[in-house]
Amino acid sequence: MTQLDTEIRQLKDNLLEMWGLVLKQCYKSEKAIEQFDKDLAREILANEKRVDAFELKINMDCERILALFNPVANDLRFVLSVLRINAELERVGDYARTLAKVVKEVSSSFSDKEIADTNLVVMIGIASNMLQLTYNAFEEENIDLLRPIFKQDEELDRLNKKAFSTIATLIKKNPEDAEKLLELLLAIQRIERIGDQAKAIAEEIVFYLEAKVIRHQKNKDRLI
């Protein structure tokens, strides 16, 4: 094994460790919202510093590998993909932080009906699953695992639009709850964005493994 091979292996391990941390942040945010757990929300906010530290280290490692080893072909695609995936994961971490802040700052929990009518928990489950699939596909270098992601992203978009209409109706009926309902809308929009980041990560994995650029193309699940 060459020094470059060792560096690539370590870079992958570090990215997967960061990925796992971001996944935990997403799962914890789901639990924090469902159970209105302010302590768990504070834990998520505290862990965001670890996500930021991972992003910085991985960026520096990628730059060092590019400068010292001048990788080509598959190794170059790997490093470039890691740079982009790293940035996407950091954004997911930001969205998980926003979800935690919603729980921490609203004065009262969302009702079971509000959660059900907006499909909040369903959406978090879909977004978390998408991110888990990208983790598995990258770890196993298996793009077949990515196929469901693009349909799931379409479903998230549909549920997001439906939730917007639902919340608008709830605010009209209960204007006194407007502030809380707008926080709920913010949470839903961030969940939808987690799905967008997972889709972008899937596209980067396809680029790394297959040297295909599928961004901006339709029927992406058929292209892999």
> What pLDDT digit, counting tens, does each position of 95-134 carry?
999 999 999 988 888 888 899 999 998 999 999 999 999 9
Q: The whole model's pTM is what?
A: 0.91
* The predicted structure's pLDDT at residue 205: 95
Structure confidence at residue 217 (pLDDT): 61
Domain count, the chain: 1
CA distances from 221 to 32, 146, 153, 177 (A): 32, 8, 11, 41
Give the C-alpha distances (Å, rounded to integers) separating 110 from 34, 38, 90, 156, 162.
8, 13, 27, 20, 18
Q: Residue 153: give the domain boundaries.
A: 3-223
Segments of the chain scoring below 70 in pLDDT: 212-224
Name the residue with tokens 């834990």. Answer: 43
**What does the pLDDT read at residue 49?**
93
CATH number at residue 20: 1.20.58.220
Task: Give the Cα separation of 144 and 80 in Å (integer).
Answer: 21
pLDDT score recorded for residue 193: 96
Which pLDDT value is given to residue 34?
A: 85
